[in-house]
């Protein structure tokens, strides 16, 4: 009360006096590139989910995060139903290996929408010169964005796996045994999720690095994820001989499906990859090349971009 | 205040034979100079190479050839270490619209090497310094031009730099906003003790704020000197005669006086640049010897603008037409690679 009263009596201060506070020097530590990189990385991760942005920036990321979780809950419910009523053919209930194809679409949506947000904004509003004038390299900026968006996708993809694991463990009477089985599945889960995230985020960021207009970039990312799949399907359908099977490597979706199959030790899903007769490990290699290539292109792009 | 800053002995920035070529344009042409601590004005027409120069000092651009050292660091190879101690305000608006000033400036502080907590504290400090109150929590997209410029200044000083590079900091501001921004810059340089290089095409601004002046034109050094030296040199003596102007001009030039080109009634007046003392006796004697009808002898101060026009004119006279034409085109064109 007294403080409020005091403020009332002083009244509004003249405009000049609000600046009149002694300047304090900064004597503390001055950290370097690693700190700057971490800051940008965390910033990119936050931006990917709209944290610290207006509410409308959070809607779509939340949607992409929650729907896969719902998918996982449904799968758990199917498991519960099967356990309760003893339905045979338990193997037909989706499990970890099926998760990628069940929720992969949401990863695509997240990167298609958020990659242009992460990169395009700084180009459009010319913020890059303020970033590049700080204690970091241009490459740090590009790689921090890639790492941030990749981790955002990792989170999105891991949540349903985590829900499924918890559900499966809780549903069984043999908790210790279930825990052991689930723990055994997690290296494969982590491998497939990290590779999927790095490749999808990388491709989307490369598009966003060259197409500044947000809408065009988003559409182009979707096109890159969808159109090659159709082309591959058509070419494979034409039966042009064994050389044509290599075109399958142009479709990121099919490549990642083969990579996931390799991680989980199952067969790649039909129809495309099995028809080629290529080993599933080729999917892993191709996805790695795509992810690393995207990182390289990004760094190169930001080395020369005007700031 | 000027003396205190100008007295710092060691130059903050050393530049030697610095050249930057863009396709079709030479932005910097073998620029050699030392810049002392204090508030240094970097003046030149649009396209003279000011922005390019600042970007090279920051390590944002690598030069085509030449040397530069900023506080002991080579900008293009030791940029990340150097930039922990340098603040930069670009000439164009460079703020994202969807975050608040607080969030953006705090991130800027961290990117310059401050730990998160220190960055937050100093953000509150510097935003108060530049006069941003409650609005600092709202997205920048809703700010006025003046507020944005304040945020741009705040992000440049959040990490307490030793050196501040300001590129046309009053761009787009109305006269009142311009005065406030210049006041803030002067305070930053004097009270906070941060060395400043202020690039501007407006000599008035430089004259108002700076204690040292560097003039470049077409990527070349025109002059570099303490402001006091420039103002001492800006004296001009106008002599008006009824007739015989040519004879008077020739006579004055023969006595080693520097005549100025330019404005006024060119058919009847001669303008003499004043270096030290005023050459009243010479004018009187010459007029008497030639029997010229003397109308007036008037001592005045010409602006810094005149000074630089004279410099360019002198260079033209000295038989460097290519340079002179480059200077004019740089002055008229806005869209150069600055």
| Cα nearest neighbour of A25 on chain B | B160
Number of residues that this document lists for chain A: 307
Over 90: is that where the pLDDT of B313 sits? no
| Cα nearest neighbour of A43 on chain B | B107
Distance, in Å, from the CA atom of B215 to the CA atom of B6, rounded to the nearest integer, reads 17
- Give chain A positions within 8 Å (CB) of B92: 126, 129
What is the nearest CA distance from A55 to chain B, expressed in angstroms?
Answer: 11
Closest CB from B86, B110, B184 relative to A39? B110
**Bond preceding residue A271 cis, omega within 30 of 0:** yes
Q: For A262-279, what is each residue's pLDDT tens digit?
A: 999 988 887 788 888 889
- Give chain A positions within 8 Å (CB) of B97: 125
Mean pLDDT over residues B196-207, rounded? 89
Distance, in Å, from the CA atom of B109 to the CA atom of B16, rounded to the nearest integer, reads 31
Q: For B8-22, what is each residue's pLDDT tens digit?
A: 467 899 999 999 999
Structural contact between residues A155 and A66, judged by C-beta atoms closer than 8 angstroms:
no
Structural contact between residues B170 and B186, judged by C-beta atoms closer than 8 angstroms:
no
B273, β-bridge pairs: B236
Chain B residues near any Cβ of chain A (below 8 Å) = 58, 60, 79-81, 83-86, 88, 90, 92-99, 103, 107-108, 110-116, 118, 122, 125, 128-131, 133, 139, 155, 159-160, 184, 187, 191-192
Please answer yes or no on whether B114 and A31 come within 8 Å at the CB atom.
Answer: yes
Averaged pLDDT of chain A:
87
Which has more confidence, A63 or A17?
A: A63
How does residue B265 score in pLDDT terms, banded at 50, 70 and 90?
Answer: low
Please answer yes or no on whether A129 and B94 come within 8 Å at the CB atom.
Answer: yes
Radius of gyration of chain B (CA): 23
Structural contact between residues B287 and B294, judged by C-beta atoms closer than 8 angstroms:
yes
Distance, in Å, from the CA atom of B297 to the CA atom of B284, rounded to the nearest integer, reads 9
How does residue B304 score in pLDDT terms, banded at 50, 70 and 90?
Answer: low
Radius of gyration of chain A (CA): 25
Collect all residues with Cβ–Cβ distance below 8 Å to A293 and sequence separation of at least 6.
Answer: A202
- pLDDT computed for residue A21 by the predictor: 55
- Give chain A positions within 8 Å (CB) of B139: 54
Distance, in Å, from the CA atom of B158 to the CA atom of B84, rounded to the nearest integer, reads 11
Handedness of CA B58, A123, B169, B121 (dihedral sign): negative
| Cα nearest neighbour of B82 on chain A | A135
Tell me the three-class secondary structure of B95-114, residue by residue.
CCCCCEHHHHHHHHHHHCCC
| Cα nearest neighbour of B98 on chain A | A53
Over 80: is that where the pLDDT of A139 sits? yes
Of chain A, the percentage scoring pLDDT greater than 70 comes to 91
Provide the terminal-to-terminal Cα distance of chain A, rounded to the nearest Å.
Answer: 52
Closest CA to B65 of B19, B120, B30: B19
How does residue B262 score in pLDDT terms, banded at 50, 70 and 90?
Answer: low
Please answer yes or no on whether A33 and B80 come within 8 Å at the CB atom.
Answer: yes
What is the nearest CA distance from A289 to chain B, expressed in angstroms?
Answer: 30
Over 80: is that where the pLDDT of B65 sits? yes
User: Which of A190-199, B184-193, B273-282 comes out lowest in average pLDDT?
Assistant: B273-282
Over 70: is that where the pLDDT of B319 sits? no
Select the residue from A134, A145, A303, A307 to test the B interface by mutation, using most B Cβ atoms within 10 A: A134
Please answer yes or no on whether B131 and A127 come within 8 Å at the CB atom.
Answer: no
CA atoms within 13 A on the CB side of A29: 6
Q: Which residue has the tokens 């449904």?
A: A74
How does residue A141 score in pLDDT terms, banded at 50, 70 and 90?
Answer: very high
Q: For A231-248, what is each residue's pLDDT tens digit?
A: 988 888 787 777 778 888
- Give chain A positions within 8 Å (CB) of B113: 29-32, 35-36, 135
Max mean pLDDT range (A9-18, B64-73, B274-283): B64-73
- pLDDT computed for residue A3 by the predictor: 38
Q: For A83-132, what is each residue's pLDDT tens digit?
A: 777 665 555 678 888 888 888 899 999 999 999 999 998 999 999 999 99
| Cα nearest neighbour of B159 on chain A | A26
Closest CA to A66 of A103, A114, A24: A103
- Give chain B positions within 8 Å (CB) of A29: 113, 115
Over 80: is that where the pLDDT of B148 sits? yes
User: Which of A123-127, B191-195, B271-275 comes out lowest in average pLDDT?
Assistant: B271-275
Select the residue from B113, B137, B155, B161 to test the A interface by mutation, using most A Cβ atoms within 10 A: B113
Question: What pTM was estimated for this model as a whole?
Answer: 0.80
CA A135 to chain centre: 27
How does residue A8 score in pLDDT terms, banded at 50, 70 and 90?
Answer: very low
Q: Alpha helices, DSSP H only, in chain A?
A: 2-10, 33-48, 56-85, 96-124, 128-132, 138-171, 175-210, 214-238, 252-264, 272-276, 281-304
Which structure tokens are listed for A77? 């419910």
């Amino acid at each position: 009360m007294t403080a409020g009263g005091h403020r009332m009596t002083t009244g509004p201060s003249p405009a000049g006096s609000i600046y009149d506070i002694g300047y304090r020097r900064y004597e503390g530590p001055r950290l370097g590139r690693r700190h700057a990189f971490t800051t940008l990385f965390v910033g990119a991760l936050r931006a990917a989910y709209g944290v610290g942005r207006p509410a409308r920036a959070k809607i779509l990321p939340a949607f992409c995060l929650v729907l896969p979780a719902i998918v996982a809950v449904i799968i758990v419910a199917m498991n519960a139903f099967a356990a309760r009523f003893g339905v045979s053919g338990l193997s037909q209930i989706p499990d970890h290996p099926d998760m990628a194809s069940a929720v992969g679409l949401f990863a695509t949506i997240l990167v298609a929408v958020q990659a242009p947000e992460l990169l395009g904004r700084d180009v459009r509003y010319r913020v890059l010169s303020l970033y590049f004038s700080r204690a970091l390299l241009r490459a740090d900026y590009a790689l921090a964005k890639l790492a941030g968006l990749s981790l955002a996708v990792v989170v999105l993809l891991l949540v349903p796996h985590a829900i499924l694991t918890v559900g499966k463990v809780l549903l069984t009477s043999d908790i210790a045994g279930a825990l052991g089985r689930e723990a055994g599945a997690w290296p494969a889960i982590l491998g497939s999720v990290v590779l999927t995230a790095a490749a999808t985020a990388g491709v989307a960021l490369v598009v966003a690095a060259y197409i500044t207009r947000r809408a065009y970039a988003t559409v182009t990312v979707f096109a890159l994820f969808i159109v090659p799949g159709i082309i591959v399907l058509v070419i494979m359908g034409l039966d042009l001989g064994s050389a044509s099977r290599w075109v399958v490597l142009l479709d990121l979706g099919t490549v990642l499906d083969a990579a996931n199959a390799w991680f989980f030790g199952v067969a790649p899903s039909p129809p495309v990859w099995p028809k080629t007769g290529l080993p599933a490990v080729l999917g892993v290699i191709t996805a790695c090349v795509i992810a690393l290539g995207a990182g390289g292109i990004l760094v190169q792009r930001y080395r020369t971009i005007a700031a | 205040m000027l003396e205190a800053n100008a007295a710092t002995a060691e130059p903050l920035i050393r530049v030697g034979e610095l050249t930057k070529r863009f396709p079709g344009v030479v932005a910097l042409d073998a620029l050699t100079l030392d810049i002392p601590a204090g508030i240094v004005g970097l003046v030149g027409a649009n396209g003279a190479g000011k922005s390019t120069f600042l970007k090279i000092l920051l390590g944002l651009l690598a030069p085509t050839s030449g040397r530069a050292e900023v506080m002991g660091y080579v900008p293009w190879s030791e940029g990340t270490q150097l930039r922990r101690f340098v603040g930069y305000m670009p000439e164009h608006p460079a703020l994202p619209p969807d975050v608040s000033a607080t969030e953006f400036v705090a991130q800027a502080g961290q990117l310059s090497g401050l730990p998160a907590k220190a960055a937050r504290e100093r953000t509150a400090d510097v935003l108060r310094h530049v006069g941003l109150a409650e609005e600092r929590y709202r997205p920048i997209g809703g700010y006025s031009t003046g507020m944005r410029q304040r945020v741009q200044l705040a992000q440049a000083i959040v990490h307490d730099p030793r050196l501040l590079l300001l590129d046309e900091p009053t761009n787009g501001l109305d006269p009142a906003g311009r005065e406030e921004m210049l006041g803030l810059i002067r305070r930053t340089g004097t009270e906070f003790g941060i060395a400043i290089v202020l690039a501007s095409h407006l000599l008035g601004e430089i004259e108002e704020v700076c204690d040292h002046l560097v003039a470049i034109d077409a990527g070349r050094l025109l002059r570099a000197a303490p402001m006091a030296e420039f103002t001492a040199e800006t004296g001009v003596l106008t002599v008006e005669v009824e007739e015989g102007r040519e004879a008077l001009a020739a006579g004055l030039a023969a006595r080693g006086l520097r005549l100025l080109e330019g404005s006024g009634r060119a058919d009847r007046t001669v303008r003499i640049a004043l270096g030290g003392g005023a050459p009243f006796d010479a004018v009187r004697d010459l007029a008497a010897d030639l029997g010229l009808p003397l109308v007036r002898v008037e001592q005045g101060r010409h602006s810094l603008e005149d000074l630089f026009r004279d410099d360019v004119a002198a260079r033209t006279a000295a038989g460097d037409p290519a340079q002179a034409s480059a200077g004019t085109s740089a002055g008229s064109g806005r869209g150069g690679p600055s």
